[in-house]
Chains A and B, each alone.
Chain A
Amino acid sequence: MSRLNAHEKKTVTFKLNGLPVRADAESRMLLSDFIRHEIGLTGTHVGCEHGVCGACTIQVDGAPARACLMLAVQAEGADIRTVEALSPGEGRLSTLQAAFKRHHGLQCGFCTPGILMSLDALISARPDAGRDEVRDHLSGHLCRCTGYVTIVEAALSALDEIRREVKSNV
């Protein structure tokens, strides 16, 4: 096994929110720190750095992942999405984001980016998801402000809207 030096930097190249990025990272640098402080996208939040709170959840090749439990070098070649990718354009919110706004699904907003990334992945993979599945997905996230009720409502409302849109397009 090759031994890595803590201070040795490696060039990491991956796709971030659709755009290619390349930057140098020490082999020990966490992906969460890399995205926030090297690249400068601060929407991904860090709440515990041990994989429990879920605030740093991003999507790696379409699947939700904790950015604090990955090293930057592990992202080599991956397709990564963060909360900054969700909005369909300037001044616009995605269906899920708008549902959160409508249902007061956030207060301080610190856990919200991670929750949105988990739910966005759920919506893509399982548009038929119901309350139980939504709650199951949310159980990997800690929110200290809302008591979760409005988050579940927002998610169900977004799923409902997306299903209706799909139907009307058929």
Chain B
Amino acid sequence: MNELTRPQSLVGQSVERVEDASLLKGRGRYIDDLPTRRDTAYAAFLRSPHAHAEIRAIDTDKAKAHLGVYAVLTGEDVASLTNSLVVGVKADVECWPMARDRARYVGEPVVLVVAESRYIAEDALDLVEVTYETLPPVMDPRAALADDAPVLHPSLGTNLINERSFRYGDPEAAFEAAAHRISITTAYPRNSCTPIETYGVIAEYDPGEDAYDVTANFQGPFSIHAVLSRALKVPGNRMRLRTPPDSGGSFGVKQGVFPYVVLIAIAARVADRPVKWIEDRLEHLTASVSATNRVTTLEAAVEPDGRITALSWDQIEDCGAHLRAPEPATLYRMHGNMTGAYAIDNVAIRNRVVLTNKTPTGLNRGFGGPQIYFPLERLVHKIADELGLDRLDVIRKNLVPSDAFPYRTATGALLDSGDYEAALDRAVTKGGLGELMARRDAARAEGRLYGIGLTAAVEPSVSNMGYITTVLTPEARAKAGPKNGAQAVATVGIDPLGSVTVKVASVPQGQGHRTVLAQVVADRLGLPLSAVRVNTELDTNRDAWSIASGNYASRFAPAVAGTARLAADRLRGRLATIAAAQLNVTADNVDFADGKVFDRGNPDNSVSFARVAAASHWAPGTVPEGTGQTIRETVFWTPDELTAPTAEDGINSSLCHGFIFDFCGVEIDRDTGVARIDRYVTMHDCGTILHPGMVDGQVRGGFAQAVGAALYEEYAYGADGSFLTGTLADYLIPTVMETPEPVILHFESPSPFTPLGAKGVGEGNCMSTPACIANAIADATGVEDLTLPLSPSKISALIHGDEKPSARPKNDAKPLKAREGERALSGEGSAEVSATREDIWAMLLDPKTLEAIIPGAHKVEKISDTHFRADVTLGVGPVKGRYRADIELSDMVEPEAVTLSGGTEGALGSGRGQGRITLTATENGTCVSYSYEAGIGGKVASIGGRLLDGAARVVIGQFFQSLARYAGRGKAAEAPSTGVLARLKSLLGRRA
């Protein structure tokens, strides 16, 4: 079981993928590539610029009247045709896919426009006017629990939507008896695996049958289909959900497309035509879905030798503004694995789920694992350090012993197989931990900052569909009836010419399912790879599927591929019976190879596979009685081990458990704070390996995403709730330059619970690597309190202290009045204008003049002598949008000085500001001096953050340029226009 042995079969070989030829030629069929009906319309969303606001009014009249617009829907319109999305816990709260009376996160859909093209739909969004009344937001999960915290859902009365406490063994006694109690508190950040292809939905509605037909790049689990049908108020058979042939990555994220399935389906119904929506990147980053952020306090009871006897978990899970299905699954997916790779008998857990003004959360590679292993593995590192023990030794001492498998963890998981100690030892030897230690010593001797991190983890795969019911009390579960299992399904069919088709409900997004299934089935039927064709598109009206269908929880290799083998085996058994009659042998002597079915004792006695296979089609009368057909076989498989939670809250949350042991060396640049991964070794035991190339591909891909999570990626929010990382220039995904090549090692302990012995492997490094890198950085810096992502600025602060404020003197600068969290801007300047102060004064009070000189102004209305309202279009960086600005004049000293203050509101965000204009008479006219301060929030802050200061300066500069030009136009008419421009340029002095 240790060294890999490869039989002469397709399984176990890194065959070239059957998917690749078309993908490499640009012939993939992703959702945006699919043909659509000629009358298809396109949707676009107006989204909330505020993290928390009452929606007072929505005026859609102008948008509805816009040429090419077919429908404009508000949250109320959608609600009138749907039910609220089902919420997974018992709580008095609704979950709508589009805001109704209140917006609860930046990017929440508020208005949906359906138009002839996406371009026109977006034009029409500019014409929608929404009146918001902002409310204080709550962004931090701890703050959300405070008594005086703003409450997101008044019906709930609190932001704490669920709380449960668990107790396994006797944690109190263990802590009482322990020599040491060591704890750690961590705040795991928000991040996401952000597939390069965004969400897409194409929907139709047939009023004749009251049926929806939706194609979406949804990835499962198809338990969500039930949520969709209920929301759309149709039986499941009238909610046809299909997936495209190709999907551009998901990593869990595309589970979160489902609220848009409801919205686009309703849009198609209202617009009475097919509607298509492709999410853009800003929408994706702001409002698709995110992994949960979690605040954890973890305490361990520890013996003097480092043995951990008990763990006490206190977890505060932040699920964002709504608890969307299947949340709070992120918190419970690991519930059986709260002791990681360790044998710890006593566990206490307090789980709280809170709502904050952030995007609702959902599936994301690693799903709950990163949030568990970061505190657990940081704590194990800390235990060794505090007790003066060897870190590797503390890990080894606590591992589940080799002779203990299958091993039931304290919280209920049944660890199927493994030899953690042997795998760890092999990693240490083959991966060269000793050599790495020597590198660290040498680096430190030179005064460099170098650290080594270690991490052990158990990687669960094939989720028990019943684990989420652990969130209910045992009484509530008893009342609702037990939930358990995970139905996998595969169909193998043989056509009249004897070629084989495999159909599964696995919905891959690039994992090569078609190749592996062809390997598995071809092996069983003795066929070449090319004789088997695999279809992985799913159509809920036509194909075999169940709630566990889809691509998540690393279930493909252990569950789906195994089920395909079971289906192939059934056909093989019947084919053997048919062949036995033709070959005059008994069925147990029949074998399959090279496209032939033959007598094992005399291989020359053979018949072609096609001939045997064709019998059921062409001559069913020749099939021996009782054999059954060999045309098509569908197998559903759910493992017995996936039982419902026990009355004591024990839960086998997953079927398979791989083992990972990682170590790495990280060097920190003392000057820049950049962490460079010098060497990374990752040992995986994922059971039987079906395709080594793909396994390593999964490991490398997960590792790269984990490097991002450890060092670069965070969905960052301002304290006002504005979203600050709305472009891929702000949300930093590692490129090839930031992604080192890990050393991958394998150990194979086949799972006794899966048909092929395989376990999942896709998510492990997302769980282990962030903790491993952080442990190395802790080792390098001596700092224990680490929060991801460990960006250069954060690491610099750890080693040098916080950045000191600039020493640059500021001339009598007034304190900025931007609200906390808003992006604050300020500036000043002056311009020389060839007009008298009185003329300029009059111009500043005249709406017609203002209309001419305010950059981008369409219309300026005078509401009162000191109140103006302007409609303006402004662009900052990649965003351009229409705003409504209210300007008030105050502190007026005619004709010397005036203060302009105001606010602006638009689809792209909001701003408030104040400026003082002073007019001083000069020889040639008037010197106009100005100073301003402003705060900007909303979309414009998320995507144009880096450009705002410059853009504001340009816009304000343009205003005064125009003022100068307008004031001097009498004279300007005398000079050639280029001369005027040049003169104005020289006149405009800026001292920002």
Contacts and interface: CB of A to CB of B under 8 A. Distances in A.
Interface of A: 6, 26, 28-29, 36, 41-50, 52-53, 55, 82-84, 86-87, 93, 97, 100-102, 104, 106-113, 116, 135, 138-152
A36 B16 contact: no
A101 B16 contact: yes
Given A109-B510, A110-B248, A149-B741, A55 B196 contact: yes
B-side interface mostly? loop
B32 interface: yes
Contact of B27 (A43, A46, A111): A43
Nearest to B253: A144
A104 B695 CA distance: 11
A135 B421 CA distance: 38
B25 A142 contact: no
Top 6 nearest A-B pairs (CB, nearest first) are A43-B26, A108-B510, A110-B248, A147-B700, A109-B23, A83-B26
B193 A149 contact: no
Interface string B272-295: 000000001100000000000000
B701 A107 contact: yes
B30 interface: yes
B248 A97 contact: no
Contact of B703 (A47, A52, A93, A147): A147
B20 A139 contact: no
B700 A149 contact: yes
B693 interface: yes
A106 B23 contact: yes
Interface string B17-35: 1011101111110101100
A48 B193 contact: no
A142 B728 contact: yes
Contacts of B33: 36, 42
Nearest to B248: A110
Contact of A50 (B195, B196, B693, B728): B728
B263 to A, nearest CB: 21
A148 B693 contact: no
Contacts of B510: 106-110, 145
A151 B24 CA distance: 13
Contacts of A116: 24
Contacts of A87: 24-25
Interface stretch (B91-99, B387-395, B732-740, B850-858): B732-740
Given A6-B123, A93-B21, A135 B737 contact: yes
B512 interface: yes
Nearest to B246: A109
A44 B741 CA distance: 28
Contacts of A29: 119
B727 A108 contact: no
Contact of A112 (B23, B704, B742): B23
Contacts of B281: 47-50, 53
A41 B32 CA distance: 11
A109 B32 CA distance: 14
Contacts of B32: 36, 42, 46
A150 B701 CA distance: 10
Interface of B: 14, 16-17, 19-21, 23-28, 30, 32-33, 119, 123, 193-198, 246-249, 251, 280-281, 509-512, 693-694, 697, 700-705, 727-729, 733, 735-737, 739, 741-742, 878
12 contacts: A28-B119, A42-B26, A42-B33, A55-B196, A83-B26, A84-B26, A97-B24, A101-B16, A101-B21, A104-B17, A139-B737, A149-B739
A84 B196 contact: no
A45 B727 contact: no
Contact of A148 (B28, B197, B704, B727): B704
Contacts of B735: 138-142, 148
B973 to A, nearest CB: 20
Contacts of B251: 144
Contacts of B705: 144
B119 A26 contact: yes
Given A147-B700, A147-B701, A102 B16 contact: yes
A93 B280 contact: no
B28 A52 contact: no
Nearest to A137: B736
B26 A48 contact: no
Nearest to B278: A46
B880 to A, nearest CB: 11
Given A108-B509, A110-B249, 9 more contacts: A48-B728, A50-B878, A53-B281, A93-B21, A93-B24, A104-B17, A106-B23, A108-B248, A144-B701
Nearest to B247: A108
Contact of B729 (A41, A44, A45, A50): A50
Contacts of A41: 26
Contacts of B509: 108
B455 to A, nearest CB: 18
A146 B32 CA distance: 22
A42 B27 CA distance: 7
B249 A108 contact: yes
Contact of B197 (A84, A102, A110): A110
Nearest to B195: A144
A84 B700 contact: no
Nearest to A146: B701
B303 to A, nearest CB: 39
A50 B697 contact: no
Contacts of A106: 20, 23-24, 510
B66 to A, nearest CB: 11
B123 A135 contact: no
A48 B285 CA distance: 10
Given A101-B17, A145-B510, A109 B248 contact: yes
Contacts of B878: 50
B217 to A, nearest CB: 11
A55 B32 CA distance: 14
A55 B194 CA distance: 14
A158 B707 CA distance: 28
Contact of A45 (B30, B247, B511, B694): B30
Which of A45, A49, A101, A145 neighbours the largest number of chain B CB atoms within 10 Å of its CB? A145
A150 B727 contact: no
Contacts of B280: 49
A33 to B, nearest CB: 8
B20 A100 contact: yes
A109 B20 contact: yes
A144 B249 contact: yes
Nearest to B744: A149
B38 to A, nearest CB: 13
A161 to B, nearest CB: 16
Contact of A107 (B30, B119, B697): B697
B26 A108 contact: no
B20 A143 contact: no
Contact of B25 (A46, A84, A152): A84
Contacts of A141: 735-736
B927 to A, nearest CB: 31
Contacts of B729: 50, 52
Nearest to A101: B20
Nearest to A107: B510
Contacts of A42: 26, 30, 32-33
A106 to B, nearest CB: 6
Contacts of B733: 142, 144
Contacts of A147: 697, 700-704, 739, 741-742
A18 B17 CA distance: 30
B24 to A, nearest CB: 4
Contacts of A145: 249, 510, 697, 701
A86 B25 contact: yes
Contacts of A50: 281, 727-729, 878
B694 A152 contact: no
A55 B733 CA distance: 14
Nearest to A46: B32
A82 B27 CA distance: 12
B728 A53 contact: yes
A82 B196 contact: no
Contacts of B702: 147
